[in-house]
Amino acid sequence: MTRRLAVFAALFAGALAAPAGPPTPTPPSTAVAAIGCVDCHLALADARVSPPAKLFADDIHARSGFTCASCHGGDPRTEDQELAHDPRKGFRGKPSPKDIPALCGTCHADAAAMKHFNPSERVDQLAEYRTSSHGKALLRGDESVATCASCHGAHGILPVKDVRSPVYPTRIAQTCNRCHGDATLMAAHKLPSDVYAKYSKSVHFEALMKKGDLSSPTCNSCHGNHGAAPPQVGSVSNVCGTCHTVFAEQFKASPHWEAFAEMGLPGCVTCHENHDIVHPTDAFLSAGKDGKCVTCHEAATEGARSAAAMYEDILALKKETDAAKAALRREAEAGMLVARAQFDLSRADEALTKARADVHLFQPYAVQQTVAGGLTIARTARAEAVRSGRERDFRRKGLIVSLALIGLSIAALVAKIRDLDRRKPPGP
């Protein structure tokens, strides 16, 4: 009891007595066994002081030789608690959220310091953080926002490339969701709390989590890592365009570019949503309930007519390609070999993919051109199927000739048999 009180008192004292600014962490010049902190803290049953000691064993800083004292100050070499927690030795206890960025920044924003451990590690995270929504709010005194420790952890910090790290690509969204999914917290900041739910319906989530494509975007890909802030309305297409280059270029060349800018519409997000980005379908162009164009372009306007024209063109190509595929498959199943035609037909699928991309030029003519190319290919393939069908018919015709001759032979045989029978003397 006394001991606990003493710890508490020390912490309290440390918090009060700590200097206003962050302390200078002790660089690990010698691999002094700093087991003093860990030994005591592990033995204590208090849930506030023993878990950090346990976690620190896995910490990447521990592997590089850092100790508890490097961030918390104090004297790790003594077993005496008061000496260990001595403010004069720089002990500052648990740093408050507003102090954390600067604390981490003492090393991570210092190129010379980082060079000792990982020369290629970036050192601009603190600067970025200060531009972020989190950083700005923190400066204003809001301590409920994320700091370094919120995402990276405080004691069992793992490298980003470690699968167990909370900021490994497949885990970032859940990490962000710890706060951004908290309705009360988000309400206080006037932010929605269903973002993760929406994101988990998206193609990016599926690619990342289910197909294991680590290049698929998660929260930080569009919002930034340390400088986390939503992209401005005008920069949405640039952000999406970092991966979807073709569509971004097309969009910039399209009439929607200026129109959207004037109307303050958020580029790609207008039609594709920002978090629940689902797989687009051809129906986006239609006038039905999935139609995106008709949400702005009223019926009988030029815009609506363009959308309808593109929709019809793409549907026509899909129909023709599917028909050609089915015809060739029938021929293949009938034993004809149409591998070359099927090979050539795959170009029609490419044309369909390109046509769907060309939609983003929002000029029906462009789509029409691509579709026309695809239609030619599909029609050629269909013609091949027809030719194969004719070859099959030729075989059947050839067969009929053979069958006719066989029939004739059988008739001649039967006639001969009958004739021979007639000429035989009557049997016994």
Partner 1 sequence: MSSGGPEGRAAAARLSPAAWLRDRIGWDGIAHLAAKKEVPIHRYTIFYYLGGMALFLFLVQVATGILLLLYYRPSATEAFESVQYIMAEVPFGWLIRSIHSWGANLFVGVVVLHMASVFFLKAYRAPREMTWISGALLLFIALGFGFSGYLLPWNTLAFFATKVGTDVPAQLPGIGPLLSRILRGGSDVTGATLSRFYGIHVAILPAITTLLLGVHLVLVQQKGMSVPPSLERKKPRAMKFVPDFLLRDMVGWMIAVGLLAGLAAFLPWELGQKAEPFSSAPAGIRPEWYFLSMFQFLKYLPAEIAGIPGELLGVLFFGALAAVLVLVPLLDRKASLGRPSPWWNRLALVAIAGALVLTVLALLPPPGQVKP
Partner 2 sequence: MDVADEEQSRRRWLTYLLGTSLGASFVSFLYPVLRFIVPPVTSEPSLSDIELDVKASDILPNSGRIVPFSGKPVILFRTAAGELKALTATCTHLACTVQYRGDRSDVWCACHNGVYDTNGTNISGPPPKPLTKLDVAVRGDRVVIRRA
Are 336 and 387 spatial neighbours (Cβ–Cβ below 8 Å)?
no
Binding site residues, partner 1, CB under 8 A: 333-335, 337, 339, 395-396, 398-399, 402-403, 406-407, 409-410, 413-414, 416-417, 420-421, 427-428
Q: Which does 427 bind (CB under 5 to 8 A by kind): partner 1, partner 2, none?
A: partner 1
Binding mask 407-426 for partner 2 (x = CB under 8 A): -xx-xxx-xx--x---x---
Tell which positions 337-356 bind partner 2, by CB under 8 A: 339-340, 342-343, 346-347, 349-350, 353-354
Which one, 141 or 212, has the nearer CB to partner 2? 212
Report the alpha-carbon distance of residue 329 to residue 22 in Å, rounded: 73
Report the alpha-carbon distance of residue 352 to residue 316 in Å, rounded: 10
SS (H, E, C) 178-203: HHHCCHHHHHHCCCCCCHHHHHCCCH
- If one asks whether residue 246 binds partner 2 (CB under 8 A), the answer comes out as yes
Beta carbon of residue 413, minimum distance to partner 1 (angstroms, whole number):
5
Tell which positions 321-340 bind partner 2, by CB under 8 A: 339-340
Report the alpha-carbon distance of residue 352 to residue 320 in Å, rounded: 11
Q: Which residues have CB under 8 Å from 240's CB, separation 6+?
A: 222, 247, 248, 267, 268, 272
Q: Which does 282 bind (CB under 5 to 8 A by kind): partner 2, partner 1, none?
A: none
The CA-atom distances, in angstroms, between 242 and each of 33, 113, 122, 125, 171 are 48, 32, 21, 21, 22
Q: Which does 428 bind (CB under 5 to 8 A by kind): partner 1, partner 2, none?
A: partner 1
Which one, 301 or 402, has the nearer CB to partner 2? 402
Beta carbon of residue 399, minimum distance to partner 1 (angstroms, whole number):
4
Report the alpha-carbon distance of residue 328 to residue 337 in Å, rounded: 9
Which one, 207 or 316, has the nearer CB to partner 2? 207
Q: Which residues have CB under 8 Å from 281's CB, separation 6+?
A: 290
Which one, 367 or 381, has the nearer CB to partner 1? 381
Beta carbon of residue 211, minimum distance to partner 2 (angstroms, whole number):
8
